[in-house]
A and B are shown apart, each in its own frame.
Chain A
Amino acid sequence: MSRWTNELRDIRTVMWKERKGLLWSQGTRWRIALPLLSPLFIAIYLPWQAGSDWLEGYVSLLLCVAIPLLFVGISIPESFAGERERHTLPTLLASRLPDSAILLGKMFSCVGFSIVILLPALLVGAVVANSVAWRGSVAFYRPWVLLVDLGVALLVGGVIGSAGVLISLRSETVQGATQALMGVFLVPPMILAFVLMFFRDTLLPWLQGLGFASVLGCILGALAVANGFLLFLALRRFRRARLLLP
């Protein structure tokens, strides 16, 4: 079997374990299910307000940012800090699983679960939008809108996943990793809001001149670059011999 086939097999094995752990751990189930109530609210309330715009415009992007943000943000600190806290990390590291398979398997699990949750939420949104703005036949998301929705969800999930793994690798407890991740994701939006507020007279006309599609393209590009950089960094920093904290 080729190296890549083996690597994929190992990633799937880690994902299998993560899925089992997530679905069968009672505490974790509730901890993850409760924050999903707010995206569920978005999936009902916003289409109710937006009507057909929910399916034709980019309002649904809110949902595609909220679900990965919450779901990956909550589950990724567990990835290594959780293993360390439960004393399962040394045994996992003593196995034959390669470094990259352990890291990517854990990250893909969190991002994958968020997409699995996003799809029914988008479906709920479509049902609500159809109910409030019935046009005689069932309307669905435009292919382009759906593609952007899924792309944004993957990129947001990827950025949070990579950053979360980086933090979790060096954290002793899940609580510590969660707090650090919250700090990381609160500071950039605050700086952005401050910049927008301070330079709004210059920035807003410039952004309006660019148009929504260009701004969205820039954001997607920035997310893709951040994704690649953080993933590279996480793979570089995953060194077995340094993960067992003294």
Chain B
Amino acid sequence: MTERQPAIVTHRLTRDFSSVRAVDQLTITVDAGTIYGFLGPNGAGKTTTLLLLLGLIDSSGGEAKVLGFDPWTHGSDLRERCGALLENPGLYDSLSAEDNLTFYARAWHLSPRIRRYRIRALLEQMGLWQRRRERVSKWSRGMRQKLAIARALLHQPSLLFLDEPTAGLDVVASHALRTQLAALVDAERITVFLTTHNMAEAEELCHRVAVIRDGTLLAVGSPEDLRAASSAHTVIRGCGGSVDAIRDGIDHQGTVIVNPDHGSDRWTLELDPSADISQIVRHLVLAGASVEEVSREKASLEKVFLDLMEEER
């Protein structure tokens, strides 16, 4: 496959589970060498799409080409070139971290020398080398996720499927994993298909994102494009005054976010594009609040996502 060919192309890809349509005529293109975020709430059809693209479940209609292969007729050719971290890390609890990697390295026919080199390089990069002989059953979720990512990258795949890689991790572990993942993807020059419902993750990592709900594609584009397409909104930051009075004053023209710092009286107002800003500022001053900043900001990806979900309802 050349660099210019897309890594994944689907055309009206559909999957039904008895009466439920999990994926509905999905048409997407994922360029090679990019990180593609597949966003959606729980039950949107993200994992089903990923399993379809790996040829692990049959489709009910439509077509797909992954790395130029049909996932259902040339699944083995395709899987030879892919790495995957699915919904669960899929690690063998009774085996050590090193044995878990050795098994998959042997499965991909890596020679003993390359196997040793890759296992060491990846475990060192993930900070797990010193603990390689421990059984993974004793490990934390974060460590297991890191090991599962190392396993997926072991054979230097052309395409990496990651199904919510930071789900269930704390903020620090998620951030560390994202940083390591970005560095690894950069170093290994691979295409990544990432499903997530974490908007910060998508914004930080992805070149392009697709938003899906109930199996239907709602929007596709770069995070920047999606944010630009959504209306800019006004943010007012300040302190003091009664939060209840401020809330009454904006009268459904936006939301009040009270600063989470303990004991702080700071607040932020996110106003709707149609809000009457001068009237709200006047009200804030009369309510005894100090206005420190009024600015126009682009919507966050989270806001775009929530708006899309709201529109569909």
Contact = CB atoms under 8 A, between A and B. Distances in A.
A120 interface: no
A241 B72 contact: yes
B93 to A, nearest CB: 7
Contacts of B103: 13, 16-17, 20
A88 B151 CA distance: 13
Interface string B146-179: 0010000000000001000000000000000000
B50 to A, nearest CB: 9
A18 B64 CA distance: 34
Interface stretch (B27-35, B53-61, B245-253, B281-289): B53-61
A135 interface: no
20 contacts: A13-B103, A13-B106, A13-B107, A20-B103, A24-B94, A25-B93, A86-B92, A88-B92, A90-B56, A91-B88, A94-B161, A95-B79, A95-B104, A96-B79, A96-B80, A97-B107, A240-B55, A240-B75, A241-B55, A241-B58
B86 interface: yes
A90 B51 contact: yes
Contacts of B56: 90, 93-94, 240-241, 244
Contacts of B89: 91
Interface string B14-52: 000100000000000000000000000000000000010
B58 A95 contact: no
A149 interface: no
Nearest to B151: A91
A154 B47 CA distance: 42
A87 B99 CA distance: 18
Contacts of A25: 93-94
Interface residues of A, number: 29
B134 to A, nearest CB: 12
B217 interface: no
A78 to B, nearest CB: 11
A98 B108 CA distance: 11
A92 B79 contact: no
Nearest to B95: A20
- Closest A-B pairs by Cβ, 6 of them: A91-B90, A25-B94, A87-B88, A96-B80, A94-B84, A13-B106
B82 interface: yes
B57 A241 contact: yes
Interface in B76-116: 76, 79-80, 82, 84, 86-95, 99, 103-104, 106-109
A95 B51 contact: no
A9 B110 CA distance: 12
A92 B91 CA distance: 10
A246 interface: yes
Contacts of B104: 95
B51 A244 contact: yes
A244 B84 contact: no
Contacts of A86: 92-93
A90 B90 contact: yes
B92 A21 contact: yes
A10 B107 CA distance: 6
A94 B106 contact: no
A24 B95 contact: yes
Contact of A96 (B86, B88, B107, B135): B107
Nearest to A88: B90
A24 B58 CA distance: 36
A120 B252 CA distance: 81
